[in-house]
């Protein structure tokens, strides 16, 4: 599949989602980039700004099968992955699939559930499989988890384990709409919600082809070194207890490839990497206790790293 085909498909996805999410082009593009890069996306923000609507709009737009899991304190791991049930007629155990057996899974308010139930997604997100009673079951392809969460300072929420946060390709925030956008939101919902009119814009099986094509976007060796240097700087930053892992380097690479494809290019440029650095890295960083007390945001640390590392100059010949 040619990059131009990816570009055209991505623009259809973005335009379709924007019929529901008004005035948030950057957030929508990053979310689509997360899907095309083959990763998973965490949407973190205050209640009522459209987190669930963004997830539902993308799920309906890309087609395929869709399941929603409402995370609550009484949710059990088996409620997510599935469980074995005894069949008396045949005297055997049968596996009944949980809601993760879908192409797009919406983990709504994921931080409302206990850490044990949250961890049920770990194997799904990393190995794309589920193991129950010693038997491994492969998940359908493509497999994309889109999780929403409210900030942890709200009552009734649990902080996500570091291992699970690290498995999200990107974390994005929507934020309040502008004045004119909020008026438009009200206008579009006078009679019915626009989410009810969203139709898929991809053919069955097309999503996997798009994800494969994104991985063919050229990334020069000097840009790989640039990514490694950025990630390495987070491990040395004085405000951090723990920097980004190699998974962070891979996420930065995949996201920059997807952003380049959306822009219609067959190669990555330094600005692609800079654009996705904060959403791809900030959620992976663990601040020292004194910085937490002072309220230092991890996003600021990533921005400091970006300013401290000179972007390489990539000539036309290096871009394939």
The verdict on domain 26-176 having CATH code 3.40.50.300 is yes
Residues 166-215 have pLDDT tens digits of 999 999 999 999 999 999 999 999 989 999 999 999 887 889 899 999 99
Six-digit token string for 122: 């770990």
E strand or H helix that includes residue 83: strand 82-87
- The pLDDT, as a whole number, for residue 317 is 47
E strand or H helix that includes residue 304: helix 298-308
Q: In terms of C-beta density within 10 A (0-12 exposed, 13-18 middle, 19 or more buried), how is residue 125 classed? A: buried
Distance CA 14, CA 30 (A): 10
For the chain, what are the domain ranges?
A: 26-176, 217-310
The CB-side HSE value for 258 (13 A sphere, CA atoms) comes to: 28
Fold of 217-310: Helicase, Ruva Protein; domain 3 (1.10.8)
- The pLDDT, as a whole number, for residue 97 is 92
Average pLDDT over residues 30-51: 92
Q: Are strands 104-108 and 144-149 parallel, antiparallel or unpaired?
A: parallel
Distance CA 123, CA 55 (A): 21
Residues 63-113 have pLDDT tens digits of 888 899 999 999 999 999 998 888 887 778 888 999 999 999 999 999 888
271 pLDDT above the threshold of 90: yes
Residues 19-29 have pLDDT tens digits of 999 999 999 99
Q: pTM of the entire structure?
A: 0.90
Distance CA 212, CA 257 (A): 11
Distance CA 142, CA 206 (A): 10
């Amino acid at each position: 599949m040619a990059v131009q085909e990816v570009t055209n498909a991505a623009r259809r996805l973005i335009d379709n989602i924007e019929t529901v999410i008004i005035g948030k082009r950057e957030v929508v593009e990053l979310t689509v980039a997360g899907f095309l890069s083959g990763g998973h996306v965490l949407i973190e923000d205050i209640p009522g700004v459209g987190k669930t609507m963004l997830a539902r709009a993308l799920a309906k737009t890309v087609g395929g099968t869709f399941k929603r899991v409402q995370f609550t304190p009484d949710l059990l791991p088996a409620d997510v992955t599935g469980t074995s049930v005894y069949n008396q007629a045949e005297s055997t155990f049968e596996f009944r699939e949980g809601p993760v057996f879908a192409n797009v899974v919406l983990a709504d308010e994921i931080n409302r559930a206990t850490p044990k139930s949250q961890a049920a997604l770990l194997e799904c997100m990393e190995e794309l499989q589920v193991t129950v009673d010693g038997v491994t079951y492969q998940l359908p392809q493509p497999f994309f988890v889109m999780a929403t969460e409210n900030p942890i300072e709200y009552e009734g929420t649990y902080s996500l384990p570091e291992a699970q946060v690290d498995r999200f390709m990107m974390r994005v925030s929507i934020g309040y709409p502008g004045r004119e956008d909020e008026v438009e939101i009200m206008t579009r919902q006078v009679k019915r919600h626009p989410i009810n009119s969203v139709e898929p814009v991809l053919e069955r099986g097309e999503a996997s082809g798009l994800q494969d094509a994104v991985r063919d976007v050229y990334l020069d060796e000097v840009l790989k070194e640039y990514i490694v240097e950025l990630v390495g700087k987070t491990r040395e930053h004085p405000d951090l207890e723990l920097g980004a892992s190699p998974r962070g380097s891979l996420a930065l690479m995949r996201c920059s490839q997807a952003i380049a494809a959306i822009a219609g290019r067959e190669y990555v440029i330094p600005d692609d990497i800079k654009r996705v650095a904060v959403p791809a890295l900030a959620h992976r960083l663990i601040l020292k206790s004194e910085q937490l007390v002072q309220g230092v945001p991890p996003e600021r640390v990533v921005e400091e790293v970006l300013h401290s590392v000179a972007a390489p100059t990539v000539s036309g010949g290096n871009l394939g």
